[in-house]
Every structure is written in structure tokens, then in C-alpha cells.
Structure 1
Amino acid sequence: MKIFIDGDGSPVKETTIEVALAYSIDVVIVTSIDHYSLKEYPQNVSFVYVDKGADAADYKIVQLIKTGDVLVTQDYGLASLVLPKGARVMHQLGYEYTGENMDGLLEQRYFSAKVRKSGGRTKGPKAFTQADREKFKENLVELINGYIE
């Protein structure tokens, strides 16, 4: 098992790395070259840098992820592409994307885009909180423990 992080703007990179380190799980952060960093990371963390482009990181993740891996992303479209590959997918707010909730999430995204395209406004995401981070961490640990048992 590896944990992949859709790295462009993820607020749970450090939390994911912390949990993965405790379980000796490799983490792969896929991100645009625009987000290149010289920051030191633990040995279990690697980076895959992709060219600039709206979906370049998504395509690379779909190419690399395998059955039994975990993906952390807030991108519903990306989640819908990796679920059929047998990967588990978590949102940064701590809930897991599943076949059961994916259709509704994609439908909601489609209608929101339609409203924006016609000049309307939709609500953006709420500010990410420490409580959100704790819920994500708790659910990631639970997901990993489920794999181990």
C-alpha cells in the first residue's frame, strides 16, 4: 500500500505524512512543478512533479495508483477515476469517496458549474479548521487499520 496525495494545495499533506510515518507507509505527493520545494521530508515521502496544466497531476495519479493504494484529494473527478482501479479515496475533510456517494457528488459539481457558467454564484468551501484536520487524521488511521487487520 502507498498513499498518494493530490499535492496542489492540499491542507493535509503534513498530517498524512505523520500518519504514514507511524505505520511505515510510503507517501507519493504528485504536484505541479510550480510547487517545487526544497523542504526536507522523511525518507518514506517521494515527489512526482508534473508539468503545468489543470489536470496534469490527476493524469499522473491515475497512471501510478494501484489496487490497495490510498489517494487523498478533494477532486471528485479524480476520485471517480481511481475508484474503479481498486484504490481507496479520502477527502481532506475526512470522508471517504465510494461508489455510493460518487454519483451525487459529481451531479452536485455539474450543477454548480452550470450555475457559475450562466453567471450565477455558488458557495465556496468553508475555511479548513483544526477540527477538520483531526477528523481527517482519525479517519485515515481507521482506514489504514482496516487494511492491516
Structure 2
Amino acid sequence: MTKIYIDADACPVKEEVYKVAGRYQLRVVLVSNQYLNLPMNPLLEMVVVEGNFDAADDWIVEHSEKGDIVITSDILLADRCVKKSVRVLGPKGNEFTEDNVGMAVSNRELMETLRQTGEVRGGPAPMDKKARSQFLGSLDRIIQSLKREGYL
């Protein structure tokens, strides 16, 4: 059965995931390095990991499998999950696939270099209604695709 894993520490679309998961009766596993308050819902599970900086990422990679969905803005985590045939969705609705995750990793490395040299400042644009709507549409599309493939 499909599960949705959320890289939860800084995920801006948790509430949206809860609503969609409820509609499809999918379990949601929030993975974080600290406890987060969750709504009382039997479909939601909180996993708190301890250890190194990437402990939550490592846990998600270890436990997710083909037919699952991972929600993350961490491109390196997305890359690791895509290599396991897990569907990966960014909080602004961009799905990471075998075809585009390599370019995303390269862009991440380039932007990190530009930030270190002072060429670029700041981070990604804040979430807006359009991005949330795009996320919801992409999540629904992925769930429908997994349903057709027999994972739901």
C-alpha cells in the first residue's frame, strides 16, 4: 500500500498532504529530527530521528519503496529516492524523475557555488497560492498514476 513520506522539518505543504491523504486513505509518515505537533489522525505517523544532519533523509531512503511518494525540497534526497523508483514531489509541485533529477542536482551545486562566491544571495521564492495549487494538482496526478499501476 502506498505511503507518503514527508521530509517534515521545513515542509510548507504538510496540511495539503493531510487533506489529500485523507481523501485517498493513505498513511502519511512525517520524518523529522524533532517532534512536531500533528493533528489527531490515525493516518498520520511521526518519526523522530536522531543523529547526523542527514538522519531523516537516510531514514526516508531506507523505508520508502516503489509505489510510495516522498515530499521534499531536498534535491539530494530526491535523487536518492528516484534511484529507488520512489515518486518524489517538491513542495511547489515539481516532480523529480530520472529525466530531471540529475539536472536539479547540477543546478543545486551551481547555485551553492554562486552563493559562496557572493554572486547570488537568498534562497527560493516563498510559497504562494499558485505553488500550493500546483503542488495539489501534481500530488493528485501522482496518486492517480499509482492507482492505475495497482499500488492503491
Q: Structure 2 length normalisation: TM-score? A: 0.90
Partner residue, 1:16: 17
Q: Would you say how many aligned residue pairs link Structure 1 and Structure 2?
A: 147
Within the alignment, does 1:124 sit opposite 2:123 as a pair? yes
Matching residue's letter, 1:80: D
SS of 1:85's partner is coil
Partner residue, 1:61: 60
Q: Could you list the per-position Cα deviations for residues 43-93 of structure 1 after superposition, in whole angstroms to 9, with x for gaps in the alignment?
A: 101011012642111111111111111000011100000111111000111
Matching residue's letter, 1:8: D
2:68–2:86 CA contact under 8 A, matched in 1:
yes
SS of 2:99's partner is helix
Summarize the Cα distance change of 1:123–1:23 in structure 2 as closer, same or farther, 3 Å threshold.
same
Matching residue's letter, 1:47: M
Deviation, 1:123, is 4.5
Higher normalized helix content (fraction of residues): 1
Partner residue, 1:87: 86
SS of 2:113's partner is helix
Counterpart Cα distance in 1 of 2:39 and 2:135: 24
Matching residue's letter, 2:67: G
Deviation, 1:16, is 0.6
Deviation, 1:37, is 3.0
Partner residue, 1:137: 136
1:112–1:122 CA contact under 8 A, matched in 2:
no
What's the % identity of the aligned pairs?
31
**Which structure 2 segments of 5+ residues have no match?**
none
Counterpart Cα distance in 1 of 2:62 and 2:121: 32
2:36–2:46 CA contact under 8 A, matched in 1:
no
Superposition CA RMSD, Å: 1.4
SS of 1:89's partner is strand
Within the alignment, does 1:4 sit opposite 2:8 as a pair? no
2:38–2:44 CA contact under 8 A, matched in 1:
no
Counterpart Cα distance in 2 of 1:71 and 1:21: 16
Within the alignment, does 1:26 sit opposite 2:65 as a pair? no
Deviation, 1:118, is 3.0
